[in-house]
Structure 1
Amino acid sequence: MSFELLNYFIFILQKLRSLTTLAAIGITLLFAWKMLRTPQEQPQRPRRRAATSPSNTSSRSRPGPGALAPTDACTSSADSRAHDAINQLFQPANLTLEQLVRHKLSEGRRVTCRLLGVILEETTPEELQNHATVRPSVVEVLLEIAKFCDIYLMDRILDDESEEKVLSALSEAGLFAGGGLIKEKVLFCSTENGRTSFVRQLEPDWHIDTSPEIVHQLARFIKYQLHISPQRPERIASNVFSSTSLEQYFGGLDQR
């Protein structure tokens, strides 16, 4: 009797195992069916297609001299208007020099600047053969810029002695001390085109120069420029600002 009862229990267990297996297979098939069907039941959202043009289909490359993409021109103009608006909102009476420098530079992170006529009292390479003198009023502004910007100074010289005079004057003014400017980022060249080439290679957010020709050449390639001139020249481009000196521009005394 016990043997027949044992066979009966084995038969029941086999039936239950078969039912469990069938149930598991059924559930698996149900989930698979739902997963396959779900993408078809979801309505497809219409996609916006950007208008294509020959310029969009070609690979982007840096514009050559004399060529400026329309989108770059629009962006530069919009950025310039935003920069003007910021300068109107932040008045020098309410801000520290650090805050003024940051706002004037529109949070730029790389700056290139000419030495002659901006940092130095001298205005020609010939004068540098005899002496080099840092303008005292510009030191504080330069050190403030160097706190949060990667700054490069550059200019044309006629001999190695001029280079030594310039570096010595910058050092004596304290511009290389205490985490200020970096000596290796003072660059020299033998031609005006060399300075333009330096700027193009470094791709700064700002370039500061006294030469209207170089400022005009770089207006298409540099986001912002500051043209230093004793006179108030006409604005070369929407992204070019002007001032009689570097410290006056960042001191907030200059109204454009």
Structure 2
Amino acid sequence: MPRTCKNGQECRKYKAYENVDDKHVSIIQPILLVGMIFVFYIFYFRLFKRRYASNESYRRKMNKKNISSKPVISLCLNDIVIRIIGNNAHIMENSVEPLNKLSSISELFVIAQISNDVQEKNIIDLFKKLGLFDKGLKEHRLMFCNTSNGRASMIRQLSPLTHVDNDETVIKTLTGKIPNLVQIYENINTSDHANFFTSLQAFTQVICAVATVEGIN
């Protein structure tokens, strides 16, 4: 039988409860349940967020490590890799293979000194035609300047481990600012402030030997 209230009427509102305590328990339970869900959500969200941030930090560290695992080398292209005649750029003999090898064992940046936009476009087209951007050299690392002073400024900002050039003025300007300076020069006269090689091929052979010893692929 349904319970009756003090006034003798059926207490339909509370007919499901056996006593007053049951009423309080039934109200508290859903509140506790919602509270537990809320606490669990906050805990899980913050934990997930911390783990995600940690993973992102780890990935950034790994990316930096991967980038710095190879030495940064900068190279002047003029009269070492290419020769500019008028607005046309021509690849120099025995320079493609050494350039590809340098691209594979280092973070290579190359700089061409030009006098107009047509020369810039022709150099880019030449590199694409030779497939140099498909063999290790990154297109955004092909840079251009208009003067030797401009090239020296770009190299200083880049701060490579080694810079290779054939302009003795640039070599002297960078002396004391770049750790290693290499001059490619065909005659006997060399700067006292730079290593001397007669060709890019000769320099690359030495660098490849060092890379093999260091385990750089």
TM-score, normalisation: structure 1: 0.51
Distance in 2 of aligned mates of 1:170 and 1:248: 22
- Per the TM alignment, residue 250 of structure 1 is displaced from its structure 2 partner at its CA by 2.6
Residues 45-93 of structure 1 deviation map (CA, whole Å, 9 limit, x = unaligned): xxxxxxxxxxxxxxxxxxxxxxxxxxxxxxxxxxxxxxxxxxxxxxxxx
In the TM superposition, 1:89-108 aligns within 5 A as none
In the TM superposition, 1:125-144 aligns within 5 A as 127=85, 129-144=86-101
Amino acid in the other structure paired with 2:111: M
Residues 11-58 of structure 1 deviation map (CA, whole Å, 9 limit, x = unaligned): xxxxxxxxxxxxxxxxxxxxxxxxxxxxxxxxxxxxxxxxxxxxxxxx
The aligned residue for residue 57 of structure 1 is: none
The aligned residue for residue 71 of structure 2 is: 109
Distance in 2 of aligned mates of 1:108 and 1:175: 19
The aligned residue for residue 145 of structure 1 is: 102
Query: Structure 2: which 5+ residue stretches go unaligned?
Result: 1-68, 207-217
In the TM superposition, 1:160-175 aligns within 5 A as 160-175=117-132
Question: Which one of 160, 185, 188 corresponds to residue 232 of structure 1?
Answer: 188
Provide the secondary structure at the position in 2 that maps to 1:215: helix
The aligned residue for residue 134 of structure 2 is: 177
- Per the TM alignment, residue 136 of structure 1 is displaced from its structure 2 partner at its CA by 4.2
- Per the TM alignment, residue 156 of structure 1 is displaced from its structure 2 partner at its CA by 2.0
Distance in 2 of aligned mates of 1:194 and 1:166: 18
Q: If each structure's strand is expressed as a fraction of its own residues, which one has the higher value?
A: 2
The aligned residue for residue 119 of structure 1 is: 81
The aligned residue for residue 57 of structure 2 is: none
Q: Indicate conservation of the 8 Å contact 1:175/1:181, yes or no.
A: yes
CA RMSD of superposed structures (Å): 1.8
- Per the TM alignment, residue 155 of structure 1 is displaced from its structure 2 partner at its CA by 2.4
Distance in 2 of aligned mates of 1:119 and 1:203: 21
Query: Structure 1: which 5+ residue stretches go unaligned?
Result: 1-106
- Per the TM alignment, residue 108 of structure 1 is displaced from its structure 2 partner at its CA by 6.2
Distance in 1 of aligned mates of 2:166 and 2:70: 20
Amino acid in the other structure paired with 1:182: K
Identity %: 24
- Per the TM alignment, residue 248 of structure 1 is displaced from its structure 2 partner at its CA by 2.3
Q: Indicate conservation of the 8 Å contact 1:108/1:205, yes or no.
A: no
Question: Which one of 141, 147, 153 corresponds to residue 197 of structure 1?
Answer: 153
Amino acid in the other structure paired with 1:116: N
Question: Which one of 163, 172, 175 corresponds to residue 216 of structure 1?
Answer: 172
Alignment pair present for 1:248 and 2:202: yes
Distance in 2 of aligned mates of 1:136 and 1:184: 24
The aligned residue for residue 18 of structure 1 is: none
